[in-house]
Amino acid sequence: MPHQPTNPNRTGSGSGDKKDIGIVEQARALYDLHAKGAVNNLMDFLATLDPGKPCLAVTYFDEAPELNRCFWILLRLLNNQDISKNMWYVFMGTKSTVSHFSPTPKNCESSVFLPI
């Protein structure tokens, strides 16, 4: 049986195609433009619910593979979220392999290597 790509932008060999060019930079710019303010607003609101105590926001996505392309877009956007934000995301799926949830290695930026 031939290899089935798990990422919709991967070719059959698993390597990225031309659509992957600049995706990290695009995701960072889109996060800053559209999501960063919403994240900050949500965390500010949660902090008012119990002032003086740290808050943690946890978002669960059930059957995440059903998001299809939106799942990959969301992963790219979340990869650009400030690591100091106390927001966690849990993606669950009953019909997918674990490899489905990992980004392509060449476009993955580990927060370990980002400047502080």
Counting the structural domains of the chain, the total is 1
Q: Which domain holds residue 26?
A: 21-103
| Cβ-proximal residues to 6 (8 Å cutoff; 6+ apart), any chain | 97, 99, 100
Token output for 91: 């993606």
Query: Is 11 within the bounds of a domain?
Result: no
On the question of pLDDT at 87 being above 60, the answer is: yes
| Cβ-proximal residues to 19 (8 Å cutoff; 6+ apart), any chain | 9
Query: Is 56 within the bounds of a domain?
Result: yes
Query: Is 116 within the bounds of a domain?
Result: no
| Dist. CA 116–CA 110, nearest whole Å | 13
Query: Is 25 within the bounds of a domain?
Result: yes
Alpha-carbon 9 to chain mean position? 15
Token output for 2: 């031939």
On the question of pLDDT at 74 being above 90, the answer is: no
Query: Is 63 within the bounds of a domain?
Result: yes
On the question of pLDDT at 60 being above 80, the answer is: yes
Query: Is 57 within the bounds of a domain?
Result: yes
**59 close to 87: Cβ distance less than 8 angstroms:** yes
On the question of pLDDT at 37 being above 90, the answer is: yes
Query: Is 93 within the bounds of a domain?
Result: yes
Query: Is 82 within the bounds of a domain?
Result: yes
Can you give the pTM of this predicted structure? Answer: 0.56
